[in-house]
Structure formats: structure tokens, C-alpha cells
Structure 1
């Protein structure tokens, strides 16, 4: 099956200019080509390509492990959620991204910055820029949040189409316990592969610093895993949840009682 990436990128550009969102994909039954349309141009009940229920493997041989303050609890995600402390949200007025260290540094000292580490981990058919074993130039992925096949191409405009999302947003973490962490622990949280995933740029921007009470992935097949991963990160870094957040997480996990916590492997 071939993908009309030029049509996809043009649709994204027109959608942004119109203030809309990229909505659906259609497959030609004659050519097998995937065509992308903005929601205002074409309507369909479901995306043509569904995303996986789980993201790719979270660690790789070239990525050195990150050690959180506490081990990720093993077992059911619902039980781990029940063990998280429930508190109100602290003030976020003093939040500054620099409190979590320099963005996309080589935190694990493997020779590659964290953004390129995660792109290399999550993309398929990865190509690197000439002369580099780190800087990802292109690749494809089954994007987890919107459930479509997405192509990453490095460029001044195109790079932002695939962004690296903090599953537990740093702004959310700051208001739920990260202020009390050491500077090193906050840097680990910002660079922990467990808390990072390559995602659609528009979806990532839409999520911003939201917790599960305010934002869940459009791709419903991912929601159980996504919530379990947030629970795992919060447990590993001693963060808390608000009551509305816990209630939203519990509703998701009710649909998948066998869902386990997410442990890097």
C-alpha cells in the first residue's frame, strides 16, 4: 500500500491555515493509496488505518536506562492507581521547563539527544542524516494518539508534524509533586523513555499539559495503555493525582481489568 505523503502534508497545512484539524484518511480500493483529508473536506466513520493498542517497545540497546526514585509497581494498573495519593493541584504559576533540565539533551550520555533516541525507537524504516548515527532524517510510524500511519521527514516545517510527547506532561507533574523532586530526578522524568512517545504534532499540541480528566487519545484502542503508562510514571516518580483525574483513569481501566502497569523492557 502506498501513501500519498505530499497530499497528507498539504492537507495538514491547509487544515492549520483554516484553523481545523486533520481528521480522516481514505484508501483507494483500486490503487491501495492512502489519501488524507481535513475533516471539512471529507467525512468518514472511522480512520482507514488503526493504530496499535500499545506503543512500541520502550527501551532499546543504545538507550541507557533511567532510574526513577521508586520502582514501577508490577501488576494491575487499577491496583496501582488505587495506591497513588490523591491531592489537590498545587500552583503552576512558577512552572518553568528549565526546572526539568535542558530540553532534549543527551541525558543518558549515549551520544544522541533524547528526541532522536525516541524517534529512532518509535519509527520504522529509519533513515539518518548523512554522516550521523543519531540524527533521524525520516521514518514512518503507526501514530498512537490518532491511529493513522504518519511519515516523519526532518525539515524546518515538517519536523513538527511528529513531536515527542511527555505522557505525564511536565506542567502537570510540576503541580502534582515534581516541585519536591531533586533536580536530577526531574531531569530523569523529562528524559525517561517510559514517559516519552513519538506522537502526531497536532495531537500533542492539543493535549498540552492536560491530565487524563481533560484529555485522552482520540485512538480509543490506546487509552487503557496510555492511562496505565501515566499511572506507572506517577508511581515511579512519587507524583499524585487529583480526584477528577483518578476518576477519569478508573473509568478507562474499568474497560480493561487485565491491563498491567507499564515497565520498560
Structure 2
């Protein structure tokens, strides 16, 4: 067998090296095409997925629907706007209505009446439900222009479990500032005891705050909500 000379051996080495480079290039090209990080839209991503957003209604029981419980009477929730030591605001000389007017109205003019040092004689309400601006004036024929609404209505609370509460707890619920808000009289009548599924504030800018307050009251008092209203509240809160 004839041995290769120096030049022939060198040429063979060069050829083998070139062939190796070609093979490596092909393998790398195939690896890149199958890499999900650089592949086309049909590739499956292996990137970690973040935790889902928390449920804004966590801790609130959801029932199929609101079931009317016979026997509802406003008097079952104690005297309207009591100034009682068991009420959340305690005995301060002012009934709950004047406490909320003092909190929610602006440009207030106060006067002392019925032992209440900050009874509101006049003021301005920026109605959160409708967006209207209401000039409030205390008086037999004018006071109803601004009313105090229960965010979770007493009738709805009765149907959802308050019918089994003690009288003391019902009175506390009816006078809890967390569940009370000053609104225009017309807006209060329109809302009545509707659930969130059938009524939301016409003023869309207030809906996030309304849904947040509503769910907070439900959670605080262990009240459930019907499925349709749960979806309505969840939809608002998830968009906030």
C-alpha cells in the first residue's frame, strides 16, 4: 500500500475538518428551528405562568338566587337612625342620619338641635349614585332631597340571613356607617332593595367604589349573595 505523502496527508486532514464543521452547522440549525424560544407561533412556550388574580369575592358565599323571606319589617332593625350606645358610632348626641350628612356633605352649615352639636342645616351633596349636585336644606319639605341609603339594603339583608339575627345585630347593621351613604332622594328610590344584578349606580365612575363597599359589608356580616349579583360585582371589581 502506497503511503500518503506529507501534502496528501495534510489535504485529508483539511477535508475532514471542513466536513466536521458542516455537520455541526447542520445540527445547530436543526436545534434552533425546534427551540420553542425562537420558533414560530405554533410553538408551545415553556415560560412560567403567573399566579391568577385573586377572586374579589373571596370569603363571600354565593347562592343560586335570592329567596324572599316573609315577615320583613323596617322596625325589626330598630328605630331609624338611633343614637344608641350599641350603634357603631356610640351615643354622641346626634342620630345616625346627621352623622352621615356631616361626613358626606360639603360646604356644611351646622346648628345645634336635639342635643346634636353638628346637625346639618345646609350643605352640598355630590351624589355618588347619579353624579348630580344637590343643594341640601334642612326642613320638613326639603330634607328628603338628600337621603341616607343602605348600600346593602335592609330588605335584601333580611332575605339573605338577617331574619335570623338578634335584634341588636340588626340595629347595628342598620346604623353601620360602612353600609351607609348620603345620596339623592330619587337615586335612593330607584335603587330600593335591588340586588347588584338588577341595579348599579348610573354614575359609572362610582361603580368600583360601590362594588368594593358592597362586598366589604357582605364579608363583614357574613351575608351571602346570589349568583347573578356575584357575577355583576366580580365583573366591576376585576375591571377596576
Kindly report the root-mean-square deviation, in angstroms, between the aligned alpha carbons of the 2 structures. Answer: 1.7
Residue 153 of structure 1 and its aligned partner are, at CA, apart by: 0.5
For residues 38-57 of structure 1, the aligned pairs below 5 Å read none
The partner residue of 1:247 within 199, 211, 231 is 231
Structure 1 residue 120 corresponds to structure 2 residue 96: no
Q: Deviations over 1:84-116 (max 9, x none)?
A: 111232323310111111001113211100000
TM-score by length of 2: 0.71
Whether contact under 8 Å (1:78, 1:250) holds in the other structure is no
Corresponding residue of 2:87: none
Q: Distance in 1 between matches of 2:220 and 2:176?
A: 11
Residue 78 of structure 1 and its aligned partner are, at CA, apart by: 6.4
After alignment, is 230-239 or 145-154 more displaced?
A: 145-154
**Which secondary structure state, in structure 1, belongs to the residue aligned with residue 62 of structure 2?**
coil
Q: Distance in 2 between matches of 1:130 and 1:248?
A: 43
Corresponding residue of 1:190: 174
Structure 1 residue 79 corresponds to structure 2 residue 44: no
Residue 80 of structure 1 and its aligned partner are, at CA, apart by: 4.4
Q: Distance in 2 between matches of 1:168 and 1:202?
A: 17
Q: Distance in 2 between matches of 1:251 and 1:173?
A: 22
Q: Distance in 2 between matches of 1:178 and 1:134?
A: 32
Whether contact under 8 Å (2:56, 2:238) holds in the other structure is no
For residues 28-177 of structure 1, the aligned pairs below 5 Å read 79-87=55-63, 88-107=65-84, 108-129=90-111, 133-177=117-161
Taking a change above 3 Å as real, the CA distance of residues 95 and 134 of structure 1, as seen in their structure-2 partners, is same
**How many residues are matched?**
180
Q: Distance in 1 between matches of 2:146 and 2:173?
A: 21
Q: Distance in 2 between matches of 1:79 and 1:180?
A: 28
Q: Distance in 1 between matches of 2:101 and 2:92?
A: 15
Q: Distance in 2 between matches of 1:91 and 1:150?
A: 34
User: Where does structure 1 differ by over 6 angstroms across 4 or more consecutive aligned residues?
Assistant: none
TM-score by length of 1: 0.64
Higher helix proportion (structure 1 or 2): 2
Structure 2 unaligned regions, length at least 5: 1-52, 85-89
Q: Distance in 1 between matches of 2:234 and 2:189?
A: 25
Q: Distance in 1 between matches of 2:198 and 2:142?
A: 28
Residue 253 of structure 1 and its aligned partner are, at CA, apart by: 1.4
Q: Distance in 2 between matches of 1:239 and 1:135?
A: 32
Q: Which has the larger radius of gyration?
A: 2
